[in-house]
Amino acid sequence: MQRFTRDQMAARVARDIPEGAYVNLGIGLPTIVANHLPRDREVFLHSENGLLGMGPAPAKGEEDPDLINAGKQPVTLLTGGAYFHHADSFAMMRGGHLDYCVLGAFQVSATGDLANWHTGGKDAIPAVGGAMDLAIGAKNVFVMMEHQTKSGESKIVAACSYPVTGLACVNRIYTDLAVIDVTPAGLVAVDMAQGLDFAELARITGVPLTNGIASAIAA
């Protein structure tokens, strides 16, 4: 079996984002998606700190401390982009104006609950940022994560054991093993890694999973 690499996962997400979409890419893994959006496809990247039309990282030496993204990394602004204040920026998110957001996660439940802000550990200092606003605000919430924890447990669960970020908010999950839709009828795998058997995927996932992979349907 050949697990999807992070770049393959990001490329797969990028393929699902159409031209003209307004998109927020969360901190971490989702950031890589930007590298895979074709240059000729106009996609509008939003950053919650007050930026629409975010461009790539600046050349070395061109960094501007006043032009950063939500991860506090230096970025650039595309021609046609705009700046605005925080309440306006979150109005975009909470008012349903973003077409897609892509978030990392600790866990996603079978009903689309998302846990990605807090391990709940006694010693952990919690920090939430804009995660809860993105979870409930975007029209489509995509999650990118490893399918399993380091100890081999499925991160797709019947119910989140970590504190949730939002309820029933995830639409699609991209992992190193599969692409899974959260539907009213339950979880549906729509793609999986080469050499992986659906039965094996279902076993690893550990919660009810339907096979909606095109080749499987065709077969």
In angstroms, what is the C-alpha Rg of the chain?
18
Binding mask 64-103 for another protein (x = CB under 8 A): xxxxx---x---xx-xxxxxxxxx-xxxxxxxxxx-----
Annotated catalytic residue 19 = no
As a whole number of angstroms, the distance between CA 4 and CA 181 comes to: 17
Provide the minimum distance between the beta carbon of 50 and another protein in the complex, in angstroms, as a whole number.
Answer: 5
Determine contact, residues 12/174, Cβ cutoff 8 Å: yes
48, 62, 146, 200: which is the annotated catalytic residue?
Answer: 48
- 150-189 positions binding another protein, by CB under 8 A: 163-167
Closest of 162, 46, 151, 177 to residue 102, by C-alpha:
46
Which range touches another protein (CB under 8 A), out of 3-11, 44-52, 187-195, 196-204? Answer: 44-52
Provide the minimum distance between the beta carbon of 45 and another protein in the complex, in angstroms, as a whole number.
Answer: 11
Closest of 107, 94, 91, 84 to residue 138, by C-alpha:
94
Cα distances (Å, whole numbers) of residue 78 to 46, 71, 83, 98: 11, 18, 11, 18
Which segments of the chain does DSSP mark as H helices, in order? Answer: 6-15, 33-36, 86-94, 131-137, 198-205, 214-218
If the CB atoms of residues 13 and 70 are measured against another protein, the closer one turns out to be: 70
109 near another protein, judged by CB under 8 A:
no
- 191-210 positions binding another protein, by CB under 8 A: none
Task: Return the ∠ at Cα 69 (arms to 171 and 38), rounded to 5°.
Answer: 60
Pick the binder of another protein from 51, 143, 145, 192 (CB under 8 A).
51
Give the active site residues: 48
Interface residue list for another protein (CB under 8 A): 19-20, 22, 40, 42, 44, 46-53, 64-68, 72, 76-77, 79-87, 89-98, 118, 123-133, 136-137, 163-167
